[in-house]
Amino acid sequence: MLKKILRVTGIVLGSIVVLAIGYYVKVCISVNNRHTKTYTVTPQVVNIPTDSASYALGGRLIKAKGCTDCHGDDMGGKNFIDDPALGLIVARNLTKGKGGLPQDYSTADWVLALKHGLDRDHKPLIIMPAHEYTMLSEQDMGSIIAYCQTLPNVDRELEESSIGPLGNILTDAGKIALFPAEAIDHNRTLTKEVVPAVTVAYGEYVAVACQGCHRKNMKGGEPVAPGFPVVADISSTGHPANWTDEQFIATLRTGKTPEGKVLNPKEMPWTMTKELTDVELKALHLYLKSI
Ligand code: HEC
Ligand code: HEC
């Protein structure tokens, strides 16, 4: 009797192991296919401004759009996620120093990365939020590229990104969007210029940077990744709708809310939002209250 129970248990456990391995192999093949897919896109010819105002704009935007949060203050790259389960996600060294971008990395390559979320071989970049940058105006994207093309060299050799087992499983299940290229309309032409003004329309333009976490409807919800807090509702039904412009601006520059909450910049990136101008923040507040 005991022998029989042991044998049956063995068969059941064995089958579970075989099924689990089979499932994981399927997941890996599917995610790898998505990662190595070649996209046929022709990058738009983006005008790269050379005037000092655009250059200064680019220098501010690399902070306000989060580039420095991931690629480091010196843009010399860093390990953005280093977790045995999720994987090692390395935001590349974007300078021309040792371990940086190739010497012949062209303006078209910059556009492939920012507008399409693709590397120069037209394969999807991991995590790099191009689905947001693809909504930038040509003026803003051009200014960012102009600034980045003159970054001082940083010698920093980093590893290649690699996706961990949980990263593969969550990606396959559609729980995390590892390849922003998949969510981009690659045929869309960039808007030439979006003029800053305290309007709902301009606020919507700035709010693209919040969508990744607060969702399109700005109502927040599920944490963006395991270990992160629930994302707050910042639409007309959330706290910010009751704040004055001054309180909204202070919150996004200091990480302290009028209700006394202290926001962790690793979870709610106010180190990025503190770089937004008064006009951008007022427009953003106006937009958030309107939805
Ligand atoms: C959420 C983190 C994150 C943010 C924000 C971010 N990047 Fe990246 N970026 C990455 C990661 C990760 C990679 C490497 C992806 C890979 O290995 O597939 C990358 C790669 C790149 C590349 C390399 C493309 C190539 O061909 O190898 C460029 C260029 C780039 N980013 C520019 C920018 C700029 C400019 C900004 C701001 C406008 C920015 N990134 C914001 C994470 C980020
Ligand atoms: C990387 C993800 C992420 C991005 C990008 C992001 N947020 Fe947040 N935000 C959060 C999370 C998570 C919370 C909740 C933090 C907590 O509960 O501690 C939050 C909280 C807030 C709060 C406080 C709300 C309250 O009720 O106290 C405001 C205001 C806010 N975000 C505004 C913004 C705006 C505006 C943008 C875009 C410019 C933005 N956030 C972009 C993740 C993000």
What b/e string do you get for 229-263 counting C-beta neighbours within 10 Å, with b at 16 or more?
A: eebbbbbeebbbbebeeebbbbbbeebebeeeeeb
Work out the mean pLDDT of the chain and round it to a whole number.
95
Query: What's residue 110's pLDDT?
Result: 98
Distance (angstroms) between ligand 1 centre and the Cα of 69 equals 11
Q: 20 pLDDT band (50/70/90 cuts)? A: confident
- 4: amino acid identity, one letter: K
User: Within 6 Å (CB) of ligand 1, which residues are found?
Assistant: 62, 65-67, 69-71, 80, 89-92, 94, 109-110, 113-114, 119-120, 125-129, 133, 144, 148, 161
Confidence of residue 225 (pLDDT cuts 50, 70, 90): confident
How much is the pLDDT for 175?
86
Residue 278 has pLDDT above 90, yes or no: yes
Is residue 158 within 8 A of residue 99, CB to CB? The reply is: yes
The pTM (predicted TM-score) of the whole model is 0.93
Give the Å distance between the CA of 215 and the centre of ligand 1.
21
Give the distance, in angstroms, between the CA of residue 116 and the centroid of all CA atoms in the same chain: 13
Segment 112-135 mean pLDDT: 97
* % the chain with pLDDT above 90: 87
Q: How many CA atoms lie within 13 A of 187 on its CB side?
A: 0
Distance CA 95, CA 102 (A): 9
pLDDT at 101 over 90: yes
- Does residue 96 have a pLDDT over 90? yes
> What is the separation of C-alpha 230 from the centre of its chain, rounded to a whole number of angstroms?
18
Give the pLDDT mean for 123-141.
96
Is 43 in contact with 111 (CB distance < 8 Å)? yes
Calculate helix-pair angle for 278-290, 200-214, nearest 10 degrees: 80
Note the pLDDT of residue 51. 96
Q: Alpha-carbon distance 8 to 14, whole Å?
A: 10
User: What ligand is nearest to the CA atom of residue 70?
Assistant: 1
